[in-house]
Amino acid sequence: MEILKYAIYRFGTMLLTLLVVSVLVFAIINLPPGDYLSNQIAELQATGQSAGVAKAEFLRQEYALDKPLWQQYMIWMGFMPGPHGFSGMIQGNFGWSFEFDSPVADIVGDTLWLTVLVNLAAVLFVYAVALPLGVLAAARARTWVDYTSAFVGYLGLATPNFLLALILFYYGHRWFDLPIGGLMDPMFEDMPMTWEKVKSILTHLIVPTFVIGTAGASAMMQRLRANMLDELGKPYVETAIAKGMKSSRMLAKYPLRVAFNPFVADIGNLLPSMISGSVLVSVVLGLQTIGPSLLQALKSQDMFLSGFVLMFVALLTLIGTMVSDVLLVLLDPRIRYEGRGA
Amino acid sequence: MRPLLTVENLSIGFGKGEPVVKDVSFAVQPGETLALVGESGSGKTISCRAALRILPKAAQLRTGRILLETRGQSLDLATLDERRMRDVRGNIVSMIFQEPMRSLSPLHRIGNQVSEVLWLHGRKSERAARKEVLECFERVGFPDPERTYRSYPFELSGGMRQRAMIAMAMVAKPDLLIADEPTTALDVTTQAQVLGLMKELQRETGMAMILVTHDLGVVANMAEQVVVMHKGRVMEAGPAEPMLRAPAHPYTRALFDAAPEIPDEAVVAIPPSRDDLIMEMKSVSKTYTLRASKGWQAPTLIHACREIDLRVTRGETLAIVGESGSGKTTAARIALGAELPDPGGEVLFHPAAGQPPIAVHDMDRATRTAFQRRAQMVFQDPYSSLSPRMRIQDTLVEPLEIHGIGSRSERRDKAAEMLRLVGLSPNMLKRYPHAFSGGQRQRLSIARALMLDPALIVCDEPTSALDVSVQEQILKLLEEIRDQQNLSYLFISHDLAVVARIADEVAVMRRGLIVEQAPPETLFYNPQHPYTKALIAAQPEPDIDRPIDLNLVAQGAGAPECWPEEFRFNGIQAPPLVNLSHLEAGHKVRCHA
């Protein structure tokens, strides 16, 4: 029950944070002088195309860009009626992308969940690889097991992602007949979900997951190893051995539980760093994730699109932090009982 | 009778180096207590851990046999394979470690960690194990076993955690219990109670015990057999009583001489004169506010110090004695200006006789700098109070640099001089702290405190992390420097025996209050307050004819609500501090007159 209360409380603070973030995001995308439309109007006027100017002027009014900044924000968020009544983020209207000349929702549509999918797969990969290897490296510290895993890990950390991507594509295709580029076969794009489509997506996921996850996995592995080594020297480990515990069981029950905390706390950080880190990989691999759209939108000052993408990344981060906070409270009684008083 | 455990010619070494344990042999009879006595580095811990083969990874058992004869089998623990070793650990031979704070996993419930012993040795279903553990909890003195079963270690006090450790070690009814300094980290009254408990349990179950300790007082109270170790070798071994009465080996005798003792003959005490004070604390209180976890609850107030009135006379030592949580350290921190007292309290510092006093908590920048030069501190833990990344020279001259005193070469000369003063050689200036032993480090801390030529030094348990023989040397050094430099000490300690030696006046604190105050001779000869009596009774003495009186300890160390009528206090309602000058000069006790 306590935990449910805490989760609700954390959800409330998350919403508040999101509100603050929205102000920041809006401020940041408005920091560069001008906006997409005024740039375009200036360009059109310079080349003397007055018809385009009229359309751009119409769009300016349509999207309330002629209003003061704070009103623009309120309209964008949907706290204030704009030219079309209440129609903002909270009403589910994400705005218009000037660059692509279509609603933001249509542009990001599919890529949203594909982004989540790719990054979730990468996070799972990170944990699945780093956990056993880190524990093994600590338990067999200063033996060949430790040195080999450290060597492979540093290789993973040091190899540029795009290079790794190219190598994996080449050999993956040659030896395992893995597809190259994209997140699904082109024939499935815009098709309804079928078993075939799922299979295609899964096979396309293998290489990107590996590429995006390697660096994170090796960093996490080394940290887990260091944490575990710290814990292994603690007296409670000796106590467990003195009870007559098998060392493998002891490792999993005692030191790992303690060493695990930082990794749970990391979930929140992992998501955004992977999304921003995977932009380059997505471009190289031709993944339909949100990263390339963000890059494009920021470059052309396509404010509603970039604003939406930034908000989305912020939301993912906040959800990640919330999940890790709630998990930590579940995992660690010291956090759970903190403040309960002695 | 055949011994339960026989250690023969045991040698243990690290890497290619000389063995750290050489040719050690001893034997434990069933039901008997053997004490392994020695200072840190004597190899006592590693010898006893060898019996369970819980050794550092790099340690090698080089030679020797460790024979365990029990339950109709004879096992050599030195060569037993790992799987059968696991059956011995926790089941036939169990172990208690030194630090109850860290020897339990912080993330698992006490009940789970204790029942695990029974699950591991496959004798019990979960329900039966739980029942047995609850009985064991009750036996080791938990008032509410069910609640303890559900508790996490951080919810228990140090003494209670050590009880949980004892329960964990006892629950499988082992034949041999190895206790590695089980009470060193505990307060003296808690130590007495835990030792009493261990002895009782031993009497009930008939198990044998190996007690590793550096404290001869503990040995006198607990052991039938004693093995004295020094530098990895056995110096002297034999039955406890004759050895404690007449130690044969010079090293054992030296250990005895170093052990501080509470004097038990009456000496007429001269209370310190009051005309040349260096520091006065006037009705100093400190209340901390713990924010409640729920918004609608009132915050909890913690009265760390209440109405402390203390005076330190120039050139003398005032000691504050009490258990952890009694407020003694808070009082010292307030005296140095590190904490602000509650309004109404005042600390006055007299830099020199006849000069106007400084109000420690109302200073401008210049006065504060001047005050800091005259009042310094020596900390408890010499291992963490010196920066491992700074050479000794840099550590020593740093205070001079901060205060901008002297030229570079003058500072260095001063550092060399101070090193000589504390009994170290000036050619050690270039070394780093890790090259020094605990005692040497504490000398370094003292040298650092002396660099600014202070008038007052606050010593916060300066010897509690040290071996007895080293403690003796440090106390001697502190006394010498005090007399030579006309220093005054505010000396914080939990150890009455240490205080008995160095102090001119002692204030005993409990729950933030001074409960009794007197010159040490008076205090030890004629203690009035039940808590003081408990402290004195709980002090283990290396005298076999003076065992710890557990009743006295239990009465005085209990809650103030359970003290005899005239001393009792409830919550923050406390009786006043009454002057007993009609009995002895300078003797005060907190009671209803």
Residue A35 near residue A98 (C-beta atoms within 8 A): no
Q: What is the rounded distance in angstroms from the CA atom of residue B46 to the CA atom of residue B229?
A: 11
The band of A341, judged by pLDDT with boundaries at 50, 70 and 90, is very low
Q: In chain A, which residue's Cα lies nearest the Cα of B84?
A: A244
Helices B126-139 and B158-170: angle between axes, nearest 10 degrees: 130
CA B153, B156, B162, B164 torsion-angle sign: negative
Average pLDDT value for residue range B535-539: 88
The CA-atom distances, in angstroms, between A310 and each of A18, A315, B181, B252 are: 11, 9, 59, 74
Residue B243: in which H helix or E strand, if any?
helix B240-245
Q: What is the rounded CA–CA span in Å between residue B501 and residue A106? A: 85
Q: A187 burial class (0-12, 13-18, 19+ CB within 10 angstroms)?
A: exposed
The minimal CB distance from B90 to the residues A234, A244, A341 is found for: A244
Q: Do B96 and A232 meet the contact criterion of CB atoms below 8 Å apart?
A: no
Within 199-258 of A, beta carbons closer than 8 Å to B belong to 234-236, 238-246, 253-254, 257-258
How close A331 comes to chain B (CA, Å)? Answer: 8
Decide if B267 contacts B525 (C-beta within 8 A). yes
Written as one letter, the residue type at B214 is: H
Residue whose pair of structure tokens reads 């339909």 in the numeric block: A288
Burial of residue B347 (CB within 10 Å: 0-12, 13-18, 19+) is buried
DSSP string, B1-67: ---SEEEEEEEEEETTSPEEEEEEEEEE-TT-EEEEE--TTSSHHHHHHHTTT---TTEEEEEEEEE
Confidence of residue B96 (pLDDT cuts 50, 70, 90): very high
**Contact between chains at B293 and A332 (C-beta distance less than 8 A):** no
Q: Does B65 touch chain A (CB under 8 A)?
A: no
Please indicate whether, in this complex, the C-beta atoms of B154 and A253 are within 8 angstroms of each other: no
Examine the pLDDT at A338 and tell me if it is beyond 70.
no
Instruction: Answer whether A244 sits within 8 Å of B88, measured CB to CB.
Output: yes
Q: Taking CB atoms and an 8 Å cutoff, what residues of chain A touch B106?
A: 236, 258, 333-334
Q: Distance (Å, rounded) from C-alpha A254 to C-alpha B27?
A: 34
Number of neighbouring beta carbons within 10 Å of residue B177: 23
What span, in angstroms and rounded, lies between the C-alpha atoms of B479 and B481? Answer: 6
Sheet holding B375-378, edge to edge: B375-378, B456-460, B488-493, B317-321, B505-510, B513-518, B588-590, B577-579
> Measured between CB atoms, which of A236, A241, A331 is closest to B54?
A241
Interatomic CA distance for residues A55 and A38, integer angstroms? 12
Per the listing, tokens 């997506």 go with A201
Distance from CA of B444 to the nearest CA of A (A): 28
pLDDT at position B234: 93
With an 8 Å Cβ cutoff, are B107 and A337 in contact?
A: no
pLDDT in tens, B235-273: 999 999 999 888 999 999 988 888 877 776 666 666 666
User: In Å, how far is A252's CA from the nearest CA of chain B?
Assistant: 13
> B217 forms bridges with which residues in the sheet?
none
pLDDT at position B281, please? 92
Cα–Cα distance measured from residue B474 to residue B443, given in angstroms and rounded to the nearest whole number: 7
Q: Write the residue in B52, B98, B292 that is nearest to A242 by C-beta.
A: B52
Question: Do A334 and B154 make contact, defined as CB atoms within 8 angstroms?
Answer: yes
CB-CB contact of B280 with B311 (8 Å): yes
- Whether A253 and A269 have beta carbons less than 8 Å apart is answered as no
Q: Are A14 and A318 in contact (CB under 8 A)?
A: yes
pLDDT in tens, A265-284: 877 777 777 677 677 778 77
ipTM score of complex: 0.77
Does residue B84 register a pLDDT over 70?
yes
pLDDT tens for A236-246 read 999 999 998 98
Query: B338: pLDDT confidence band, cut at 50, 70 and 90?
Result: confident
Q: List the one residue out of B370, B351, B368 whose CA is nearest residue B279.
A: B351
Record the tokens describing residue B481, joined without a space.
């420097």
Q: Does B571 score more than 60 pLDDT?
A: yes
Question: Within 13 Å, how many C-alpha atoms sit on residue B555's CB side?
Answer: 14
Q: Please check whether residue B165 touches A, CB under 8 A.
A: yes
Q: Do B90 and A243 touch (CB under 8 A)?
A: yes
Question: In angstroms, how far is the first alpha carbon of chain B from the final one?
Answer: 59
Kindly determine whether residue B54 and residue A238, on different chains, have CB atoms separated by under 8 Å: yes
Q: Phi/psi at B205 (nearest 5 deg)?
A: -95, -15
